[in-house]
Amino acid sequence: MIKIKEFRYALCLLFFVLLLTGCAGANKYTNQISGFSFNVYKNQKVDEDENGDVIVMLSDKVTVAVTSGDASAYADEEYLFELSKKELNLRSGAFESTYNNTLFVSKLMDYLFADSEHAYTVYGVREATFNTYDAWIANVLSKEDDVNATVYICVENGRSYFICIYIKDQNNNRHDYDKIINEFIKSFQIEEIQEVE
């Protein structure tokens, strides 16, 4: 008799936990224009403009900016005829003089942050992964040291993706936000955009 009561109690507890998890669970945000998606939780906000650029407020201290564009103009022309759009990524060989070149990526990142009012310095440009995608990563510091960032550049399906994760805190506190940032990165997916005929 006691075992049946314990079983019912455990079942009720499990149901309650599942109910709470479902209420606090994530919704999937999908960007049809640029072909990416990620999980968004109830307390997070997403703003999208008409070009498909996105600002995500992960918390009051962490903001993510995602922008994407056609990368085929930066590809070696011969590869555009040999490979499908789905095959145009950092490892395809099509971007050896541009997106898969340390000097080009370093200059590009410097250019992206050159006009900032925060006087950003880009450092540590290196190869990495963003979720499962080949990427470049760099750290960004502001002169005031009250804002820092990490920027990723991926090329998938013939599109470039710039993902910049801003932390409104001092650089030495950046690891305090690893959990929320890693959850976002793990949920980020890139999909091929279906061409409309």
152 domain residue, yes or no? yes
123 domain residue, yes or no? yes
Q: How many CB atoms lie within 10 A of CB 133?
A: 19
Q: What is the spatial distance between Cα 117 and Cα 186, in angstroms, rounded to a whole number? A: 31
CATH of residue 65's domain is 3.40.1000.10
Report pLDDT for 6. 59
197 domain residue, yes or no? no
131 domain residue, yes or no? yes
Q: Tokens 């200059």 label which residue?
A: 107
pTM: 0.83
Q: Is the pLDDT of residue 17 over 80?
A: no
133 domain residue, yes or no? yes
Q: Average per-residue pLDDT in the chain? A: 87
Give the single-character DSSP code of 182: H
Q: Coil, helix or strand for 181?
A: helix
Q: Is the pLDDT of residue 154 over 90?
A: yes
Q: What is the spatial distance between Cα 185 and Cα 57, in angstroms, rounded to a whole number? A: 14
125 domain residue, yes or no? yes
**Which is more confident, 4 or 129?**
129
182 domain residue, yes or no? yes
Q: For residue range 54-100, what is the model confidence (pLDDT) as tens digits? A: 999 999 999 999 999 999 999 999 999 999 999 999 999 999 999 99
Report pLDDT for 160. 96
For the beta sheet containing 27-31, the strands, ordered from the edge strand earlier in sequence to the opposite edge, are 27-31, 36-40, 189-190
Phi, psi at residue 38, to the nearest 5°? -165, 165
Range of the domain at 45: 26-190
Report pLDDT for 1. 47
Domains in the chain, number: 1
21 domain residue, yes or no? no
Q: Is the pLDDT of residue 184 over 80?
A: yes
Q: Tokens 């407020």 label which residue?
A: 57
Q: Which of 22-31, 39-48, 50-59, 173-182 has the lowest mean pLDDT?
A: 22-31
Q: Which helix H or strand E contains 77, and what residues bound it?
A: helix 77-82
